[in-house]
A and B are shown apart, each in its own frame.
Chain A
Amino acid sequence: MSHTASNPLSILKTRLRTAAAAAALLLSTSAQAADLNALIWCDHADPALLQPFEEANGVKVNIKEFEGTGAGLAIVEQSQPGDWDVMVIDSIDVPRGVEKGLFEPLPEDKLPLADLFPQVKMDSSTVVGGKRYGITEKFGYNTIGYNKTKVDPADMQSMAALTGDKYKGKVAIYDYYLPVIGMAALAIGKKTADLTEADLPALKDELLKMKANAKLVGEVTASQTALATGEVDILVGGGEWVTAGLAKENPALDFSVPKEGAILWSQSLAMFKDSKNKDMALKFIQYIMSPEGQARLATSSCYWGMPANTKAALTDDQKKVLRFDEQPGFLARAQAYPAPNADLDKKMQDMWTEMLQAK
């Protein structure tokens, strides 16, 4: 070893130079115009979905996962304008992004809108001031997920089963207040679109009855695990997003859309107004909405869901698991998520907190 090399000062200088070079390389890489920066939900992180797009367009898709619109919008607020190109967002929350001046109108003529299930276009949310800011890419139902070998499927055709004694202690509740409050509304004969503050006491009673029967209230993974491991036999708020992905390992899992109806969940793609790569962002949206992209997104390793595009290139088996052919009937009975204003939203969340704390 030479004297120079073993001198601590020289070593430090060499390492600093190396670190500086590495940092410069990193910065130059992150600033490459070919990158696409996407704020996504976990279903978009599947390499089987992203790789074909990256290879076809010679682009790297940098992803950042988030849960909940509030958390997603907070990430955007803490970023520099132009840091993000596209975002996945609850369809009912597209107007929140538009109000904040975040989104770019999408060119309807370049998107396969005519191929979408008409009921999931959600124009009341995705179109603001006559301009389309979001396009529904995937949807499904918050309804009743169950193990058909443990419960009587006929019982699952009515929400009364969720609050009766027969399945006490065999029930889990999906921990998201809006869809489950929506289900409670259906159970008491209210339309989700018409909910007001005056309905809260009745909704709370219904939620407390559900809680009294429940073993747990879990987020996506916990509720999925509980149903899959036999900890519970019924998941309130479950649907194809829980059962379809597990169909191979556990074909006993199924879902029903009871006579009272189900809550339609729907996720959209939006493009950022300040995106520095709008052409690529549009290409990404077009890819996700293409028959191939839709099939990959629908069967993502994180969770399955119905593709918004009726022409999604799903196999027959995949269609069967998703109950593709039954969609017209399901959609006819489904109601949209409750879309409360900020004040009612806060009251609904507090009601949910009260339900969670109830013994």
Chain B
Amino acid sequence: MPRAALPRAGSALPRAGSALPWALVTPALGWTLLFFVLPFIAMGFSSLTAHEGGGFTASNYSQFFTNPSYWQAMVNSLQVTAIVTVISVLLAYPFAWILAEQVPERWQRLALMLAVLPFWTSYVVRSYSWLLVLAQNGVVNRALTGSGLFSEPLQLANTRFATVTGFVHFFVMLLTLTIFANLKQLSPSYHKAAADLGAGPVRTFLHVVLPLTLPGIMVGAFLTFVLCIGDYITPQILGGNNELLMPQLVMMQIGRRGDFPLASALSIILMAVVTSAYLACARWLKIERA
């Protein structure tokens, strides 16, 4: 930016000590305080309260670390989330690349709309639809047995495979959007400069395009991680309760017993895992390019 175009101090920008910045930021701060900070404090307080009697206790947290079934729920959640994130990235990147690089500009809007079409259906309906598709008498098993590939139907529904399938179907769309946006921001001059320096298409992709689109991948992957690890509907409908994930374990505490303190503690532990994941990949979670 030319120096002359920079706003002069004291002209366009508000002066130091002015109340305007605070006035502008107050609604967002108020919103965050009201709907995140205060509920979070309440949840933290609840997590340190005994279900019966209401006294102070850390047992809600210690239960998680001493009960193997609870611990297993976290392991299951992390495994499923990691599998879903990796598969979704591997499927979404080529898809987004084809949309951004191979599909003519005038068709891109339509192609994107078609790509996100599954978002238009209810999440619950989509999960139940997958259940019917993967069922013993569903489309997939009929095709497999009908073609003679298998003599008996496979158990696809009510398994971790079904949960992963339902998740991937949803998150590939989400990742495609974030990676597509990143690819479109990439100036064509990067390709030209790489070609000028003698790089072929594969080398250009590996050493120029991929590193520059890494922030888009990481943002999408992080969103996938956060949404996947906290999701209750998909594993509940498609997993057949053959293994429990953390959100299901949290919901179990509420159903009949109304054990909100334990549910709060488990939710906070889940949140700590998400925060750790954010910190681990924070350096890549930048939209701007250096």
- List chain A positions with a Cβ less than 8 A from chain B: 67-71, 73-74, 169, 175-178, 215-219, 222, 225-226, 229-231, 342, 345-346, 349-350, 353-354, 356-357, 359
Contacts and interface: CB of A to CB of B under 8 A. Distances in A.
Contacts of B259: 70, 346
Given A222-B236, A353-B69, A356-B242, 7 more contacts: A218-B158, A218-B240, A225-B128, A226-B158, A229-B136, A356-B244, A357-B69
Given A217-B241, A353-B70, A353-B252, A74 B137 contact: no
B256 A68 contact: yes
A143 B158 CA distance: 22
Contact of B257 (A67, A216, A229, A349): A349
Given A70-B256, A71-B254, A353 B249 contact: yes
B241 A68 contact: no
A69 B240 contact: no
A2 B240 CA distance: 62
Given A225-B131, A353-B249, A357-B244, A346 B136 contact: no
Nearest to B248: A356
Interface in B219-253: 236-237, 240-244, 249, 252
A231 B242 contact: no
A225 B128 CA distance: 10
Interface of B: 51-52, 67-70, 72-73, 76, 128, 131-132, 135-137, 155, 157-158, 236-237, 240-244, 249, 252, 254-260
B258 A69 contact: yes
Contacts of B131: 222, 225
B52 A342 contact: yes
Contacts of A176: 256
A123 B255 CA distance: 25
A70 B257 contact: yes
11 contacts: A68-B255, A70-B254, A70-B258, A71-B254, A73-B258, A217-B242, A225-B131, A229-B132, A350-B67, A353-B249, A356-B244
Contact of B240 (A68, A216, A345): A216
A22 B136 CA distance: 52
A74 B255 contact: no
A218 B135 CA distance: 14
Given A229-B137, A230-B136, A218 B255 contact: no
Nearest to B241: A217
Nearest to A169: B155
Given A356-B241, A357-B69, A74 B254 contact: yes
Contacts of A73: 258
A215 B69 contact: no
A70 B255 contact: yes
A357 B243 contact: yes
A129 to B, nearest CB: 21
Contact of A178 (B137, B240, B256, B258): B256
Nearest to B134: A231
Contacts of B158: 215-216, 218, 226, 231
Contacts of B252: 349, 353
Nearest to A178: B256
B155 A215 contact: yes
B240 A215 contact: yes
Contact of B241 (A74, A175, A349): A175
B214 to A, nearest CB: 37
Contacts of A71: 254-255, 258
Contacts of A175: 241
B161 to A, nearest CB: 13
B240 A222 contact: yes
Nearest to A229: B135
Contacts of A354: 68-69
Contact of B242 (A169, A216, A225): A216
A218 B258 contact: no
Nearest to B158: A216
Nearest to B256: A68
Given A216-B241, A231-B158, A357-B244, A68 B249 contact: no
B238 to A, nearest CB: 9
B96 to A, nearest CB: 34
B135 A231 contact: yes
Contact of B256 (A69, A225, A353, A359): A69
A342 B128 CA distance: 35
A225 B134 CA distance: 13
Nearest to A173: B241
A67 B255 contact: yes
A192 B260 CA distance: 27
Contacts of B52: 342
Nearest to A214: B242
A49 B176 CA distance: 47
A356 B243 contact: yes
What 5 pairs across the A-B complex have the smallest Cβ distances? A70-B258, A216-B240, A68-B255, A217-B241, A216-B158
Nearest to B255: A68
A176 B240 CA distance: 13
A178 B70 CA distance: 20
Contacts of A353: 67, 69-70, 244, 249, 252
